[in-house]
Structure 1
Amino acid sequence: MCSYCGCHDITVIGRLMDEHEAIQNAAGELRRTVVTGGPEDVAAGVAALAGLLDPHVEVEERGLFGELRDDPEFAPHIDRLCGEHVTLEAALDAVRGGDLTGLDALLRLLDAHIEREDNGVFPAAATALDGPSWDRITDRLNEPAAVQHHPDRVTEPRGAP
């Protein structure tokens, strides 16, 4: 987690960084559970990680990333991060389905992804966005339906049938 620029003090970024810490803790617990637990324990660990990751991704994509994507300088980086969200989701689904061969790759990607956000996009957003931008982010997060913004995804709310 970035500790040098003060971006954690911005409400949205602080929330996302705190969620990153919880996600990394759940990922570490899942890694330990795969070694020491049974299939039910692994399933519970995957569910715990997904339960943290899914709403976190939605907040990032709908809130902060939705605003940053409007800036041509940020758009390629945001697209990459959103693409990683799709990859992480697919890898987690494979583990959920019982294929543990990709667990190490999933956890490495998750760590690298969080590093790029915490030490790259979040500090950059803290300096690039102004008050009205943060207001728009807050407004997006308060919208009743969560629409996915990544071009490779459907435009239905997460969890929609």
Structure 2
Amino acid sequence: MCSYCGCRSIDMIGRFTAEHEELINATGLLRRAAAVGATDEVVELVDEVATLLAPHTDAEEAGLFTVLRRDEDFIPYIDSLCREHATLDELLARLRAGKLDLADRFYADLRSHIEREEDGLFPASLTTLRGDDWDEVDALTAAAVPATSAPPPAAL
């Protein structure tokens, strides 16, 4: 995970990076449970991961992605990240439904996605966005995704 450009000093990027770390840790537990066939534990852990993932991806899309989309150079990259968000949600739903063999793929896809954000989009946003832009990212994120907006685990 990126630690060289200073983008973590931006509150929202620091938040997203901390959430990435939480997601990786929770997904590690999920992988281990799936590897030993602990179906009930997998369901609980999928719900935990989903509770972390949904508000995180919603926040990214509502704030940072919205503001960066104003620069047409970012649109294809952001579109691909949004597709990855959807794929991660689909994989979690399939894991919850008993497809335990997808745990390693979910983990690999999540890691790859996070690397693309932390090594690509986040540093680029640091050089592209200015103070007012970051204020807008914060406002859009807060308006669209209140801190308590995590969907109930049964939503999967």
- Cα deviation digits, residues 108-141 of structure 1 (max 9, x gap): 1111000000111001101110111111111102
| Greater RCO, CA 8 A, separation 6+ | 2
Q: Counterparts of 1:88 and 1:141 in 2: how far apart (Å)?
A: 21
Aligned equivalent of 1:45? 45
- Cα deviation digits, residues 46-82 of structure 1 (max 9, x gap): 1111111111001110011111111101111000000
- Provide the TM-score with structure 1 as the length reference: 0.87
Q: What is the number of residues matched between the two proteins?
A: 149
Aligned equivalent of 2:132? 132
Q: Counterparts of 1:104 and 1:11 in 2: how far apart (Å)?
A: 31
1:66 paired to 2:66? yes
Q: Counterparts of 1:35 and 1:117 in 2: how far apart (Å)?
A: 28
Which ranges of 4 or more aligned residues in structure 1 deviate by more than 2 Å? Answer: 35-38
* Structure with the higher fraction of residues in helix conformation: 2
Unaligned runs of 5+ in 1: 147-156
Aligned equivalent of 1:151? none
- Provide the TM-score with structure 2 as the length reference: 0.89
Unaligned runs of 5+ in 2: none
